[in-house]
Structure 1
């Protein structure tokens, strides 16, 4: 009975090592300048083994980000039904940031995650993928919000509009965090909370009132 557990832990260690090495190489020699063979060689596995875990170099580049997004989606689906859309999204993202640090650190150092985020922002091929993934994520969130509110997402524009506003704030805070001097998760949580608190006032019709 213990063998499957050992096997699974070994597979997880290999997967984590591939992510960690890939991000280290991407941040030191560039995404375009790094090959799958280099990643596999550094972990002392075959190229075939790499492709057992990841379909492409692109997929490994976004592996940690995927984990963060999945944590947020779980938190959102677990928010109390009486919370309104913006409160649910705000509380879900802050809740996710409260718990994600340890999960990230089990795979890669947090500072490496920050540097890999900067690589994504500065690499055209990765930035294009990031924008596509963000669009897909927004659609998933909008459908969750519509379901919470008992709405048809294709008939009522409010879920997609609300999510677009929320996602815009998240995009801004991510960029500011990546360019900032404090690379901690506490810093992005504080920045996210501050900017989300300004979302309502920013949508007010008259800023001068």
Structure 2
């Protein structure tokens, strides 16, 4: 079991969550461009200086979960189990993200709202696209390091790109038709599972 966070750490987590929740609410109510950092700080009852001790910009507030999710996936990939094939490893790693979301309904709704904003704000779409590229490259390199005998770097990149592309597109399609957050998350999970099942054809060990 993980260590229980101390009082100081719990306070930091609450402040961070309040900043994120306040930002998302203001972005949806006022519009992304119209909302200022000082307004986000005020909504969380902290100073602007405190805001910048947690986030470097408004964009970072919205994309906060991407880094956390990637770090969780990278840790899982780095801890490959004995006899575990690349597709099974990637399945388990991606599954850790959905497990966290499934256990936190508020987080699922938050992520759905963030993705809705990304779809509707051009500057956020551009930022998210660059982040997605960097994320895929980092994960592909990690997968190749974990499975050097089964996948070369190009094959690892193809596997990661297929999974993340399918997941993102399924989520956006689900959002676009107005599905509730739980169904959006489920659409992403199903897309990942379907893609990973197909990727097993590239995981035969090389001669």
On whether the aligned pair clears a TM of 0.5, the verdict is yes
Give distance in 2, aligned partners of 1:193 and 1:34.
35
- Deviations along 1:150-190, one digit per CA (max 9) or x if unpaired, are 26x9x742222222222221221221232244324465235
Shift of 1:89: 1.8
1:54 aligns with 2:51: no
1:128 aligns with 2:126: yes
TM-score w.r.t. length of structure 2: 0.79
Structure 2: segments with no counterpart, 5+ residues: 202-207
Shift of 1:47: 0.9
Is this contact kept in 2: 1:77–1:144, CA < 8 A? Answer: yes
Bigger shift: residues 130-139 or 68-77:
68-77
Counterpart position of 2:164: 167
Give distance in 2, aligned partners of 1:30 and 1:130.
18
Structure 1: segments with no counterpart, 5+ residues: 205-209
Is this contact kept in 1: 2:73–2:94, CA < 8 A? Answer: yes
Distance 1:81 1:183, change over 3 A: farther
Counterpart position of 1:22: 23
Counterpart position of 1:207: none
Shift of 1:203: 10
Is this contact kept in 2: 1:22–1:60, CA < 8 A? Answer: yes
Bigger shift: residues 90-99 or 17-26:
90-99
Give distance in 2, aligned partners of 1:57 and 1:202.
37
Distance 1:24 1:200, change over 3 A: same
- Deviations along 1:55-105, one digit per CA (max 9) or x if unpaired, are 111111111333333333333334424333233222322342123333573
Distance 1:174 1:195, change over 3 A: same
3-state DSSP of counterpart to 2:103? helix
Is this contact kept in 1: 2:171–2:184, CA < 8 A? Answer: no
RMSD: 3.0
TM-score w.r.t. length of structure 1: 0.79
Q: How does 1:1-12 map to 2 (within 5 A)?
A: 5-12=6-13
